[in-house]
Amino acid sequence: MNSPVTVVEAEARALPFPVPANVHVETVVSVRHYTDRLFSFRVTRPQSLRFRSGEFIMIGLPNAEKPVFRAYSIASPAWDEEVEFFSIKVPDGPLTSELQKIKPGDPILLRQKTTGTLVLDALTPGKRLFMISTGTGVAPFASLLRDPDTYEKFEQVYLTHTCRDRAELVYGQELVAGVVDDPLIGEFAQGRVTLYSTTTREPSDHMGRITALIESGKFFADLGIGAFDPATDRIMICGSMHMLKDVKDLAEKYGFVEGSVSKPGDFVVERAFVG
């Protein structure tokens, strides 16, 4: 088991500043830039890190006496040897302006604690699980889609991902293709995961905000499935503040009741990282 990193360890790694208590110094393994707004990266995993798929963790860079930490959904599943993140790049963002420059081999800080509401335990049992995401809000679902528990609890899983343009959809598309092909998860996921990608600012197969597509019934018609039904369906929502509110209002219109880990329900909501 790793103990929290100490000043001595920071010195051993020649970091410019002492590392705060309960923070792990990990190493960037790989980075992939999708667009000028989105990138993903993988880092080494602290041996002692335990989390539930769908949770978030605080990450930072060792570039200041008091480093800026931000909440990031873990995009990799609980069984993965590395930890994956999917991030926005904000030119003047306190963390992402620097984070977007990371390269393999660079140090990165991870706090010890993980938490979050987008976990299977916060939902009561159901048959169909709908994961509704925009932008980097797809990240926690990248974790859950690679967790065998998801398929133990649900018969069918639908991931919706809405972005401004087609290039921003690539992460989600490769994720779902990878899940179905995965030697470990493929056997659970085969024929049970459906991706519904939509764009709002560039033409694509499915255009429009997911809220409008649900309200008009086009989403259900396109997939040839029945409309939301709280008796059989559960919903997880992750995206920007406004999107969360609009999808939550929609879910409540259909009669879904919000849940949490302490009181499981029909749907759960979490804000995607935005700064």
- Smallest gap from Cβ 8 to ligand A2P, in A, equals 41
Residue 44 contacts ligand A2P per CB under 6 A: no
Q: Please select the residue that binds ligand A2P; options are 13, 101, 201, 253, rule is CB under 6 A.
A: 201
240 in contact with ligand A2P (CB under 6 A): yes
Give the H/E segment covering residue 86. Answer: strand 82-88
Cα(237)–Cα(235) distance, integer angstroms:
7
Give yes or no for residue 214 binding ligand A2P (CB under 6 A): no
Identified binder of ligand A2P from the candidate list 153, 192, 209, 218, rule CB under 6 A: 209
Q: Which residue has the tokens 């008796």?
A: 231
Q: Which is nearer to ligand A2P, 153 or 271 (CB)?
A: 271
Tokens representing 73 are 């959904």
The one segment of 77-85, 119-127, 171-179, 237-245 that binds ligand A2P by CB under 6 A: 237-245
**Distance between CA atoms of 148 and 188, rounded to whole angstroms?**
7
Using CB under 6 A as the binding rule, whether residue 134 contacts ligand A2P is answered as: yes
Contact with ligand A2P (CB under 6 A): which of 194, 200, 204, 260?
200
Give the binding range for ligand A2P (CB under 6 A) out of 15-23, 41-49, 55-63, 240-248.
240-248
Could you say which of 58, 61, 153, 164 contacts ligand A2P (CB under 6 A)?
A: 164
Run of H or E including 59: strand 56-60
Between the two ends of the chain, the Cα-to-Cα distance in Å is 32
- Give residue 81's Cα distance to chain centre: 17
Stretch that binds ligand A2P, among 13-21, 221-229, 238-246, 263-271 (CB under 6 A): 238-246
206 in contact with ligand A2P (CB under 6 A)? no
Residue closer to ligand A2P (CB basis): 25 or 132: 132
Contacts of 121 (CB under 8 A, 6+ apart): 52, 261, 264
Which is closer to ligand A2P, CB of 90 or CB of 261?
Answer: 90
CB neighbour list of residue 213: distance below 8 Å, 6 or more residues apart: 198, 206, 219, 222
Centre a 10 Å sphere on the Cβ of residue 80 and count the other Cβ atoms it contains: 16
